[in-house]
Amino acid sequence: MLEFKVLGALEVLENGRVCTPTPPKVLRVLALLLLRANRVVPIETLVEELWGDNPARTAVTTTQTYIYQVRKLIDRDRSGTDEELLVTKWPGYMLRLPAGALDADKFEALVTRGRTHLEQGRAAEAAPILHQALNLWTDLPLANVPQGTILATHTQSLMEQRLRAIELRIQADSQLGRHVELIGELRELIAEYPFNEWLHEQLISALNHAGRRSDALLAYQEIRSTLHTELGLEPSTQLQRLQHEVLSNQPVRVPRLKA
């Protein structure tokens, strides 16, 4: 059984044995086929990813050679049969992946399950599923693959999906009262996403629920200063309301994600 990993270094595993190709351009071709699995990838798209706006005169022929190397890796025991994974289909190629063969698909399915539990008020069921989804990540997506503009767009999309999953998991953990445990992680995330106001809301709420009211107010002043200095903006209505609740010692609601 073949498995493919893209949530970190690109890896190909056959029955648990790593058999990842090493040539950089073969990796790029395989990566693009994986991220567009079960869809036709035009050969022009592969050429653009490999050479940008200045393709070599032999670009199409060379790309076909890379396709041959990918096919030899993943279809060596299926060549010429209906079970081939990599098929030629006008105007390019399609990698046919069964369910569960790609870690990104597993991640998406787990996040969907976790979100459904959360939306239905079952944070205790949602949290472990979302933790499981995020544990599939080992590094930046395609960490060992040189990336052109097309692959870079795909990896940015994966990073956005990861952030959304983190936010859902934080929401689940917050609803379960794990405020103290979240504080350090939230500070790290804010260093990575300094303008994400929802993360700041969560930090302020977590600090306040942990009995650190003064730190919660300092956290509000920090995001207010950052927004004003860097962007000329004031904090969102939600952040201002949260500050008021902390100042007036009102019960602070756990911030929720917008639908």
Sign of CA dihedral 7, 131, 194, 138: negative
pLDDT tens digits, one per residue of 44-88: 999 999 999 989 899 999 999 999 999 999 987 665 556 899 999
Please tell me the least confidently modeled range out of 7-11, 98-102, 218-222. Answer: 98-102
pLDDT at 186 over 90: yes
Instruction: Indicate the pTM of the whole model.
Output: 0.93
Spatial neighbors of 114 by CB under 8 A, at least 6 apart, are 126, 127, 129, 130, 133, 165, 168, 169, 172
Q: Amino acid identity, residue 142?
A: L
Residue 237: partners with Cβ closer than 8 Å, 6 or more residues away: none
Domain 179-259, CATH number (from 1.25.40.10, 3.40.50.9100, 1.10.10.10, 1.10.357.10): 1.25.40.10
* pLDDT reading at 251 higher than 80: no
Please give the CATH number for the structural domain made up of 2-95: 1.10.10.10
Domain ranges of the chain: 2-95, 179-259
The pLDDT value recorded for residue 78 is 65
Average pLDDT over residues 88-104: 96
User: Of the ranges 64-73, 116-125, 145-154, 242-251, which one carries the lowest mean pLDDT score?
Assistant: 242-251
Common-topology check for domains 2-95 and 179-259: no
Please, which residues have CB within 8 angstroms of residue 218's CB and are 6 or more apart in sequence? none
